[in-house]
Structure 1
Amino acid sequence: MTDIKPIGSLCPVDDQGYIINQSDSSKINDRFQEVIRLVTESCLSALSEEIHSIYLRGSVPRGMDIDGVSDLDVVIITYSEPQNLNLDWTEETEQLINERFRFINGVELGFSPLSEFEQTTHCSMIPFILKTYGICIYGESLIHKLPDYKPDSSLANEHLIHLAPLIERAKQELTGNEDTEDIEDCCSWIMRIIVRAGLALVIVQEQSYTRDLYPAYELFTKHYPEKEQDMRTALWYAINPLSNAEDILDFLNGFGSWMKAETENWLNVLNPYREPHLPL
């Protein structure tokens, strides 16, 4: 069981208000080098002609990894649409790395098509993540070609526009599910989404952003003190996921429903036409 600790920080911004990327290859702990090598080799072996570039994001390239808590977040950019590729090998690769390297809390391989980076006038989550949190570990880096981003309504929309369907998806995955590991994975995933959505609700007022859970929770409760205990529970479940599906469903039907309603209020004001991506 992991205690809630006041760790993490808000993204720094430059004098024009754009988020500064703090990731750097020199900050990566040496013990991750073999993991990174194996991940890269596995990707290239399986998709040798399809990979444009590979990136690390999250706490590891910022030198903020925590033993046994941090995972390795990898983004692979492919020439083809990922749904048209055979990605069956990824589960075996993730499992192999999880078993071999106990100091990480798993590895996550995410895939995005190169076409997603052609449009640079609107905010989009994966390009945003690479620009503000990523480093390139293979191929031609796209980071310098991407626009700069501010903590504003366009960014907030990326977290809020899909919140309701994601909560409903989690509820569907949990209903009747008896696979303990699957339940815990779903719990951690949806609770992280909820905590970050809580921050998104107040991005415009705070003009601040973070992917770190604790400071996201803090900024949310500053504006919604009456919901502090609910969001703290979501934070707790994100780092200590439940294995009882019914308990998670109860929480999603309660606080999750409130978050959906508050998100609708936000969208009614700042994105009334429900555009998937807002202009930068």
Structure 2
Amino acid sequence: MIRPPGRLWRIDHSGYILNDASIDALQSPFAALVQDAVVACTQQISDDIDSIYLTGSVARGMAVPGLSDLNVIVVLHAARDPDLVMRDWVPAAEETLLAAHPVVSEVQIDLWPYYSVFTDPACFSTPGFILKTHSICVWGVDLGSQLPDYKVSPGIANDDLARLEDELAVIHEGLAEPLAEHEVRLWCTHTARTILRAAFGLVQMQAGVHTRDVDLCCEYAIGGLPEHADDLQLALRYADQPVGDVTAVQQLVERVEGWLVDRANDWLDQYNPDRDPDLRVDDVEERE
């Protein structure tokens, strides 16, 4: 099946990014999986959970059976020490859900400390941004109303660009391991998405739009970086049609890594010279 075209997040008349996820958008092929995912989490650590969210294409009603992932975010209670919350059940739960519901290609359950969402109000909160603009609450009390509204700002792209070199190092290490073909395809998808979203981050402020959809990330990145069009189009092809050849994925990284890291460092020199993982809001406002 072919993925539907991506779409931009809507922006209201005041410039705030609106949530692109909706419970009404949840497609019927994924409903049973979502219910089972909630049960899997609450059966294990219900006393530790504040709320559970869906994010990604399933939450936005854009998932493609057999191709899309299920992304579940579990926000822990504020009073819980995240280091004391059991996590060893997560891999088995992910595997069980995937085996029972092959409608998705992967299941990912992430446990987030409450304080990761409600950080220093002077700093941009990537988890807060994701919950506010990318996610739907499927269990517990929705924290969205307690979070600020967000405009297109350097804080969004900073999440992809400030950790780009570390993420590429993880990709290098992962691709160096003995991998089955299906594992190579997962790494291929992850690698291509990482490249395209980082490239989009380089041009997002000039474009004045927000998206995470790789086709639009590629389109806008090529518009701002036309000299790298061939590399970006190859990354898009690998995102849509991941290959099982580890050498091909490594070659993609080698083609892109040099110029992408250099461009990311130029961007960081302008917007985040201290390389803070969470960009200060007052710094953003001064630079806009």
Shift of 1:194: 1.2
CA distance, structure 1, for counterparts of residue 58 and residue 179 of structure 2: 33
Q: CA deviation at 1:102?
A: 2.7
Report the residue type matching 1:43 in the other structure. Answer: C
Q: Which letter does structure 2 place at the counterpart of 1:49?
A: D
Equivalent of 2:40, from 39, 42, 49?
A: 42
**Corresponding position of 2:62:** 64
Q: Which letter maps to 1:214?
A: D
Do structure 1's residue 27 and structure 2's residue 25 form an aligned pair?
A: yes
CA-CA distance at 1:12 after TM superposition: 1.0
Contact 2:192 2:239 in 1 (8 A): yes
Partner of 1:203: 204
Bigger mean CA offset, 163-172 vs 121-130: 121-130
Give the aligned partner of residue 220 of structure 1: 221
What amino acid does structure 1 have at the position aligned with 2:197?
Answer: R
User: 2:41 is aligned with what amino acid?
Assistant: C
Given that residues 51 and 74 in structure 2 are in contact (C-alpha distance below 8 angstroms), is that contact kept between their aligned partners in structure 1? Answer: yes
The answer to whether the 8 Å contact 1:130/1:143 transfers is yes
Return 5+ residue gaps in structure 1 as ranges: none
Going from structure 1 to structure 2, the CA distance change for 1:254 and 1:82 (only over 3 Å counts) comes to farther
- Unmatched segments (≥5 aa) in structure 2: 282-288
Once the two structures are superposed, residues 30-62 of structure 1 have per-residue CA deviations (whole angstroms, 9 ceiling, x without a partner) of: 332221111111101111221111001122222
Q: 2:284 maps to which residue?
A: none
Counterpart in the other structure of 2:269:
268
Matches of 1:140 and 1:131 in 2, distance apart? 13
Q: Give 3-state SS (helix, strand or coil) of 1:136's partner.
A: strand
Alignment partner of 1:108 is 2:69: no
CA positional deviation for 1:110 = 1.5
The alpha carbon displacement at 1:266 in A equals 0.9
Q: Residue 106 of structure 1 aligns to which amino acid in structure 2?
A: E
Q: State, as a whole percentage, how many aligned pairs show the same letter.
A: 29
Corresponding residue SS for 2:66: coil
Contact 2:75–2:114 (Cα < 8 Å) also in 1:
yes
Give the deviation of 1:81 after TM superposition: 5.4
- Do 2:4 and 2:62's aligned partners in 1 also have CA atoms closer than 8 Å? no
1:65-104 equivalences in 2 (<5 Å): 65-79=63-77, 80=80, 82-104=82-104
Say what the alpha-carbon RMSD is for the aligned residues.
1.9
Q: Structure 2: how far apart are the matches of 1:242 and 1:271?
A: 35
Code of the residue aligned with 2:35 in structure 1: it is R
Measured after TM superposition, the shift of residue 21 of structure 1 is 0.8
User: Normalized against structure 2, the TM-score is what?
Assistant: 0.90
Q: Once the 2 structures are TM-superposed, how far is the Cα of residue 238 of structure 1 from its aligned partner?
A: 2.0
* Rounded Cα–Cα distance in structure 2 between residues aligned with 1:231 and 1:148: 31
Q: How many correspondences in the alignment?
A: 278
CA offsets per residue over residues 113-170 of structure 1, 9 Å max, x none? Answer: 0011222332222211110011111111111111111112121111110011100111
TM-score by length of 1: 0.92
Output one character per residue of 1:196-244: Cα deviation in whole Å (capped at 9) or x when no partner: 1111000110111101111111000001112111011112222322323
Q: Secondary structure at 1:128's aligned position in 2?
A: helix
Match of 2:286 in 1: none
**For the residues of structure 1 that align with 2:236 and 2:192, how far apart are their CA atoms?**
7
Quick one: distance in 2 between partners of 1:83 and 1:160? Answer: 28
**Aligned partners of 1:82, 1:253: CA distance in 2, in Å?**
37
Q: CA deviation at 1:65?
A: 2.0
Contact 1:159 1:197 in 2 (8 A): yes
- Residue 101 of structure 1 deviates from its aligned partner by 2.0
In 2, are the aligned partners of 1:68 and 1:105 still within 8 Å (CA)? yes
Q: What corresponds to 1:53 in structure 2?
A: 51
